[in-house]
Structure 1
């Protein structure tokens, strides 16, 4: 079956690229991907599958029943875009102003659509079930994965696999990490309320900017003096809003930031320390504080046993479509695949998308981000090898 599948994929390379370019030219933001979802669903119309749309929102789930009973494997690709004005100059650049596929989700969707179609043709040889998960809203918290899980459609899944294209690696490289792989993230917002006044009479006021500045400074000690040396975490202040006039003592400032961590217990510890500092401002500066949290994605944690097997399956592609399979460092970026990894033994790995001829590249989320389209075929064959290995198909 593996040989048949690889031949079928090779024959449909241009189709993958065509799909990717269509999606790239017509991006839609998270939770607004109606046309993209319809395009994906239309691709599967009339095929021998169970097609379910509007799953958890705009999600599309396709069930491929194999020739006999067996385990259920899910394959996931996301399809939302970002609120970024594209600057690539590509002939198929975004037609939707202020919206861009700047993270590679167009490539994810293209490879999985064609791979799924090949698996549909070969399904009689598959001893189990494959669920194709086309997921919406990965880019906007809490993320489409959470809602797809809550729909119950994946309750019977034994394992789930996903990929992400990464320009840090050249085409032909696949990178994996067992265990904690990508960070969880939570946003915080703190409002500090003092007493406004005139710069000429500071004793009659209570300067919220002073209190806020102290908080930003002392916050740096949370990582250096409160976090276990062997834990991984970071706390960042990304916004300090206290604009006023030069001779006015500000009565209110708003501080917003980000907490990132590799384990939930680490977040619990960091959050506790940040809250202690916030409450300490009230006592030290006689101000009032309000702190709110917007929970993002939890950490992506790859199942060690499944990941070990996936690495073995991927090595079948060496000296063929792959040059190397390497271990990746932990990634500080958030990814809502984490919700799947909390409930289902999972493996999420990275597919290099930088041209082998280039050393410089634009990162994901950059307005000039692009991929070497050879990476689409690499992704299709890599996940195809995972499917063949998982179901012990030669």
Structure 2
């Protein structure tokens, strides 16, 4: 009875989910600057029979505690709400009104579905045998991220299991859900390398020490870290995303700065790549007689879905097959990163994927694209899927 009532409530409020999503899409805010978004979310819960904590972790974190009418365990449900520094090109009626800022990763949809789902749980709280913590998290897109400080705050210490979803238009159509057990999304490290040489005139290279030559060698040698230093069965990606060597055509550069990105699926791989890059830098100084300054900062850890919890989630979701789900399938590991990994380092749980390809689109745009969009019907699928997990966890029929 509980499940049927909950699903009906969600169906009745599907239009409201879309309205919230569209409002948030029109008013995106960047990581750590989500002042108005946080206020909008808090206002939604104003006057409801819940405990609302704000500024959790010293950021715009919001935790809404729904205490059930019966004793039981505490679980966490999380949605992020920050946007990206991207100029929108969707031409949607509700396109971003903030120039150069866009919800290009679906966080507006994450927040919209969870707000309505939370409100439905609030209506049915007397029948809940436990406590649900609704985690509205800022700053997923920008390290160190919002999840890390929320975890460190201790606000989730009582949570037994935690669950989250992500919209991926390229995963599939609305009604398709994906999961992966174990290491599922990559960890990420940022690095910056400054190379100080000796500038000079292009006509007299012997009187200078060209920083561009040294930097170019580093870019080439860096590729051997993955191709020749990692086990072929390990997953690792190293990318140079910025090579700042702009100067005059006849001047030998004095200083060059590189910035890059490292992805990996486990901590051992991260440590191996870090060691190899630092070794290359030492060799670069010796080989070219330059001074190198390396900043190497591990951002998000690899995301690890607890296998037992994931199996349980898949079994719960099976109940929705033929009803609101058309397919539940195992997804591949993703080389993208997600700060939900910080929660999963401490709390057993799982993070699964919701297909949301817009209808009539053969090749939907991937997340972070300026034309990114979702099928809003997937909002209800996300809400029902997470509701299904909660019902299964608490054995609510």
Contact 1:77/1:105 (<8 A) preserved? yes
Which residue in 2 is equivalent to 1:51? 52
Q: Partners of 2:358 and 2:91 in 1: how far apart?
A: 17
Map 1:142-181 onto structure 2 (within 5 A).
142-168=144-170, 169-181=172-184
**Counterparts of 1:65 and 1:235 in 2: how far apart (Å)?**
45
User: Per-residue displacement from partner, 1:283-333 (whole Å, max 9, x unpaired)?
Assistant: 111111110023311111101111110011111110011000010111111
Q: Distance in 2 between matches of 1:174 and 1:77?
A: 17
Deviation at 1:218, TM superposition (A): 1.0
Deviations 1:136-191 (A, max 9, x none): 11111110001111111001100100000001111110000011011111111111
Does the CA-based 8 Å contact 1:36-1:79 persist in structure 2? yes
Say if 2:61 and 2:150, in contact at 8 Å, map to a contact too. yes
Q: 1:220 aligns with which of 212, 223, 227?
A: 223
> What is the distance in 1 between the residues matched to 2:94 and 2:202?
56
- Contact 2:358 / 2:373 at 8 angstroms: preserved in 1? no
Counterpart position of 1:263: 266
Tell me, yes or no, if the aligned pair for 2:78 and 2:136 is still in contact at 8 Å.
yes
Once residues 98 and 224 of structure 1 are traced to their aligned partners in structure 2, the CA distance between those partners, rounded to angstroms, is 37
Q: How far did 1:356 drift?
A: 4.8
What is the Cα-based RMSD across aligned positions, in Å?
0.9
SS at match of 1:158: strand
- SS of 2:132's equivalent in the other structure is strand
Instruction: Judge conservation of contact 1:142–1:295 (CA < 8 Å) in 2.
Output: no
Instruction: For 2:19 and 2:196, locate their aligned partners in 1 and report how far apart those are by CA, in whole Å.
Output: 55
How many Å separate the matches in 2 of 1:212 and 1:194?
10
In the alignment of these two chains, the number of paired residues is: 394
Which range moves more in the overlay, 46-55 or 300-309?
A: 46-55
In the other structure, the counterpart of 1:26 is: 27
Q: 1:317-336 alignment to 2 at 5 Å?
A: 317-336=320-339
Tell me how far apart the structure 2 counterparts of residues 155 and 377 of structure 1 sit (CA, whole Å): 30
Query: Distance in 1 between the 2:139 and 2:258 partners?
Result: 27
Q: Separation in 2 of the partners of 1:287 and 1:387?
A: 58
In structure 2, the partner of 1:273 is: 276
Q: Is the 8 A contact 1:220 1:235 kept in 2?
A: yes
Q: Alignment partner of 2:86: what SS? A: coil
Looking at structure 2, the residues matched to 54 and 204 of structure 1 have their Cα atoms a distance apart, in angstroms, of: 57
Q: Tell me which residue corresponds to 1:11.
A: 12
Alignment of 1:92-241 (within 5 A): 92-168=94-170, 169-241=172-244
| TM-score, normalised with respect to structure 1 | 0.98
**TM-score (norm. length: structure 2):** 0.98
C-alpha distance in 1, partners of 2:183/2:229? 21
C-alpha displacement at 1:357, in angstroms?
3.4
Task: Give the structure 2 partner of residue 65 of structure 1.
Answer: 67
Deviations 1:263-294 (A, max 9, x none): 01110000100010011011111111110023
SS in 2 for 1:61: strand
Distance 2:243 2:86 in 1: 23
Note the alpha carbon deviations across 1:342-380, whole angstroms, 9 max, x for none: 111120000011035322111111111111100100000
Q: Which of 371, 374, 380 is the equivalent residue of 2:374?
A: 371
1:306 is the counterpart of 2:309: yes
Equivalent position of 2:346 in the other structure: 343
Deviations 1:115-135 (A, max 9, x none): 011111111221111000000
User: Equivalents in 2 of 1:322, 1:278: separation in Å?
Assistant: 51
In structure 2, the partner of 1:89 is 91
| Structure 1: gaps spanning 5 or more residues | none
CA distance in 2, matches of 1:344, 1:97: 38
Show structure 2 runs of 5+ residues with no match: none
1:42 to partner: Cα distance: 1.0
Distance 1:315 1:355 in 2: 24
Look up the SS of the partner of 1:256 in the other structure: strand
Higher mean Cα deviation, 265-274 or 190-199? 190-199
Q: Which of 287, 291, 295 is residue 294 of structure 2 equivalent to?
A: 291
| Counterparts of 1:95 and 1:240, CA distance in 2 | 32
Deviations 1:189-217 (A, max 9, x none): 11111111112211111111111111111
Residue 35 of structure 1 is matched in structure 2 by 36
- Would you say the 8 A contact 2:193–2:257 is kept in 1? yes
The secondary structure found in structure 1 opposite 2:247 is coil
